[in-house]
Amino acid sequence: MADERPSPQQTPDSSSPQTRNEQGIPWKLVVWGAIALYAVVFLLVNSKRSDVNFVFFTVRTRLIWLILLSMGLGFVLGWVGPRWWRGRKRG
36 three-state secondary structure: helix
Torsion, CA 50, CA 54, CA 56, CA 61, rounded to 10: -30
> What size, in residues, is the chain?
91
**Cα 80 to Cα 74: distance, rounded to the nearest angstrom:** 10
* Domain spans, the chain: 27-90
Q: What band does 20 get if pLDDT is binned at 50, 70 and 90?
A: low
Which of 6-10, 11-15, 36-40, 83-87 has the highest mean predicted lDDT (pLDDT)? 36-40
The reported pLDDT for the residue numbered 22 is: 64
The mean-pLDDT minimum among 4-13, 40-49, 57-66, 81-90 falls in: 4-13
Residue 16 one-letter amino acid: S
**Cα 29 to Cα 42: distance, rounded to the nearest angstrom:** 20
pTM: 0.47
**Cα 71 to Cα 78: distance, rounded to the nearest angstrom:** 10
